[in-house]
Structure 1
């Protein structure tokens, strides 16, 4: 068994591994490209809408400027709110590379993994992203009620996403190693929640949030392998 701080320490120490760095660069670029594309689509839609419905009340050629300002503002706010969903969605497709890099350095005798088919990767990503959005939407009414407490809303969303992230990060590794669908993952629910909670906290920190998914996936790899050894 390995402690969460130790798992994170090992994950952080491997950030400069070329294989990990390659995944980090790819996942960040793809994540940012998705937000840029969404911002461009939003800009186009707003420009079209302003031109069609309210351009008469604006000076000439202002529709593009107004649309651009609104699109950038919405993209920045939306990026902050949705970064966790998009980053984890993208990381699903590079999870094999992270698991293999950690195993090559720390668990060379671990059973090799064949990787998941692209269709299953996509299904896992869509399923986990949909689950995260639905659970967060379900928590929203309670979060609004807790606004009067000052801190209750933040704590609720942190707890909800700690539970979600812990499961997602565990599954990134475990689905590649389990022998059958009924086999129980070697990470206890409490430890899985703490893993998700730590990553959820890092995701709130600007710039550090770019590293959070990679650190979470690498830490989960350590926890799965050490857990399997302890249970053997």
Structure 2
């Protein structure tokens, strides 16, 4: 388990690298653009509903102001992860270059069509499992902490997988199911990043930190395996 905190600390130490910082800026900007678009779309949809039911259009603005933050809270990890998938190779390559140069030469960057396919599958998994968790969270809402625990558990498993797969897919030689990081380590990483995503402003950094930390967990095991061989 100590590998996860060490990987997160290394990821934090690399946020200042030019390549990682560039991905951070791009992913944050694109994530905010997506949410801005969703907010505008929601507002005009509410205006249309107000017009159809002869309700004062001012209520559309009020409803949008209330609903957009709620949508951001629920959808942030989904949108941020989907956006990050398109820049994942750049983060993993930066980690390889700085910490695992011997592995950089044997990495196989993903072509665009595969990046899109991986991002789409990841998006569907995160969105689908979070929607499936909604009924259980609703049943536990009276406990106060129950829904948070449910979503933390679900996203710990999902995020841990996604963040380690980003690096593994560059080295898997076609064996996408052979991720070498134990499930317990993946879940711990996912839980840590899911927790970061609940903290304002830190949540903007969390996906990149998770991707870099996941790369460390995968690459150290690949390096260890090659050393033993």
- TM-score, normalization: structure 1? 0.91
The gaps in structure 2 that reach 5 residues or longer are none
Which residue in 2 is equivalent to 1:88? 81
Comparing 194-203 with 123-132, which one deviates more in the overlay? 123-132
**Aligned: 1:107 with 2:90:** no
Comparing 152-161 with 197-206, which one deviates more in the overlay? 152-161
1:93-120 CA distance string (max 9 Å, x none) = 0001101111111111214334212221
Take 1:227 and 1:98, find their aligned partners in 2: how far apart are those partners?
Answer: 18
8 Å CA contact 1:2–1:226 kept in 2: the answer is no
1:72-104 CA distance string (max 9 Å, x none) = 321121011110000000000000110111111
Comparing 135-144 with 8-17, which one deviates more in the overlay? 135-144
1:153-192 CA distance string (max 9 Å, x none) = 2212111110000111111111111112266222011111
Q: Count residues with an aligned counterpart.
A: 225
Which residue in 1 is equivalent to 2:65? 72
Deviation for aligned residue 1:150: 3.1
**Aligned: 1:224 with 2:228:** no
Which residue in 1 is equivalent to 2:13? 13
Which residue in 2 is equivalent to 1:125? 119
Which residue in 2 is equivalent to 1:195? 189
Comparing 24-33 with 39-48, which one deviates more in the overlay? 39-48
Distance 1:99 1:162, change over 3 A: same
The gaps in structure 1 that reach 5 residues or longer are none
| Structure index of larger Rg | 1
Which residue in 2 is equivalent to 1:31? 31
Deviation for aligned residue 1:145: 2.1
- TM-score, normalization: structure 2? 0.92
Distance 1:106 1:204, change over 3 A: same
Match among 146, 149, 152 for residue 146 of structure 2:
152
Distance 1:2 1:231, change over 3 A: farther
Deviation for aligned residue 1:25: 0.6
Deviation for aligned residue 1:46: 1.7
- Output the aligned Cα RMSD: 1.7
